[in-house]
Amino acid sequence: MHIKIEKPVIESILNQIIPFTEKKDNTQITSHILIKANEKLILKATDKEIGIKVVTNADILDSGTITINGKRFLDIIKTLQNKEIEIKTEDNQITITQDSSIYKLTSFNASEFPEFPNTDEMSKIDIEIEELNKAIKKIYPVIDNNNPKYELNGALFDLKDKTNFVSTDTRRLAVYYSNAKAKESKIIVPKRSIAEIKRVIRDDMEIFYDDVYLILKNGEIMFFTKLINGKFPAYEKIIPQSLKYELSIPKGEFLSHLKQVSIISNEVKITINTDKITFESISDETMQAKTSFEINTPLEEFTFAVNSRYIMDFLNVIESDTFVLGLNEPNIPFMLKDDNFITIVMPLNI
């Protein structure tokens, strides 16, 4: 293989794909990226759980396929000047040249690099990329971390005629109701993969899935992730079928006052009266915080306690200036609602 490519081009691609490589063991083929030169230049990286392929243009003087340690390759590229770089291989040796700077690295056997899945036999999700981006942004904060029930460490794509995107950390449940259409199925996408999707997503991508993989791709980028093999909780049973009270509340004022008392403690008591909402920190007697704002409500007095972060996570991802607070009784879950996005929150015992 023999190619020439501008340094900013290759550096940008490497910054994008290096997070997909194996970091701990440089003896593994997955610590390497695969570079294939033919009509286009193709770069691949994977740790076998997630993977990415990027296609770009380069001056290809001789075709070929190599692997190269991803981190070391990027470290070398970063030290070079912002102009053309020459990459050449002979047997298992890679030579990287720019002016008087020469680096030589050893390649692994490219045939050992993991195969990537393809979409030939996969089903497609019919969704606007903007809506997918919005859905995963809103449910992401509620995906659990390191839960022994591994399926909770991911987001459920409840695929059907109108697809729901769902996450839970057992203290709250987030559901985004979309117009996406797909063959009926339930797939669980790992939290790490959701984070990477937010990073690689492009407006013209198509989305495919089967029982093992989810794939997003366009002409330049292909991203895949393995799915979590498990059964997601029956989330529909957690959603209240009716609400005694549905209060329309200004987001800005509510969030501002909630933040004020959260400086002292994340555990906050909220009291709703006919003319105001009061926020009080729940902490020891040495530190206290209390604030309120005026608002008309149908409630004489309704008090509940909550981890303030749960409400702030919701308010920080909605676009509207107001939201709906749905209540039944102080000691049972309440609902936060904005258009087609809801979060059900378990209150604290007080």
pTM (global) more than 0.75:
yes
DSSP characters for 253-277? Answer: HHHHHHHHHHTT-SEEEEEEESSEE
Does residue 286 register a pLDDT over 90?
no
Terminal Cα distance for the chain, rounded: 69
317 and 245 within one domain: yes
- The single residue listed with the structure tokens 């059964």 is 231
**pLDDT the model gives residue 25:** 86
The last residue of a domain, from among 57, 79, 112: 112
Q: Is residue 117 part of a domain?
A: no
304 inside domain: yes
- Sign of the Cα torsion 9, 11, 12, 16 reads positive
Q: Are residues 152 and 212 in the same domain?
A: yes
Q: Read off the pLDDT of residues 163-200 as tens digits, 9 standing for 90 and up.
A: 999 999 999 999 999 999 999 999 999 999 999 999 99
The answer to the question of residue 9 being in a domain is: yes
Whether residues 147 and 209 share a domain: the answer is yes
- Do residue 69 and residue 174 come from a single domain? no
Structure tokens at 33: 């990226």
Q: Is residue 118 part of a domain?
A: no
pLDDT at 91: 84
**Does residue 284 register a pLDDT over 90?**
no
244 and 314 share a domain? yes
Mean pLDDT of 113-142: 96
Tell me the helix, strand and coil percentages in the chain, rounded to 5.
25, 40, 35
Asked if residue 247 and residue 227 are part of one domain, the reply reads: no
- If asked whether residues 244 and 262 sit together in one domain, one would say yes
**Using an 8 Å Cβ cutoff, are 97 and 123 in contact?**
no
pLDDT score for 294: 97
Is the alpha carbon torsion for 141, 142, 148, 154 positive or negative? Answer: negative
pLDDT in tens, 51-71: 999 999 999 999 999 999 999
Cα angle for residues 319, 325, 327 (degrees, 5° grid): 160
Distance CA 134, CA 114 (A): 32
- What pLDDT digit, counting tens, does each position of 204-219 carry? 999 999 999 999 999 9
Please check whether residues 181 and 270 belong to one and the same domain: no
The residue segments making up the domain with residue 108 are 2-112
CA distance 123 to 120: 9
- Rounded CA-CA distance 109/168 in Å is 43
**Rg over CA atoms, the chain:** 25
Same-domain check for residues 211 and 296: no
Other CB atoms closer than 10 Å to residue 66's CB: what's the count?
23
225, part of any domain? yes
247 and 341 within one domain: yes
* End-of-domain residue from the set 112, 133, 148: 112
Give 293-324 pLDDT, tens digit per residue. Answer: 999 999 999 999 999 999 999 999 999 999 99
Examine residue 244 and state whether it is found in any structural domain, yes or no: yes
Same domain, yes or no, for 266 and 184? no
How far apart are the C-alpha atoms of 216 and 227, rounded to whole Å?
A: 13
Mean pLDDT (the chain) is: 96
- Here the CATH number for the domain that contains residue 23 is 3.10.150.10
Q: Does 119 reside within a domain? A: no
> Is the pLDDT confidence value at 261 over 80?
yes
Number of domains in the chain: 3
pLDDT at 249 over 80: yes
350 — pLDDT class (breaks 50, 70, 90): confident
Q: Is residue 350, in this structure, part of any structural domain at all? A: no
Pair 85, 11: CB distance under 8 Å: no
Query: Does 141 lie in the same domain as 194?
Result: yes
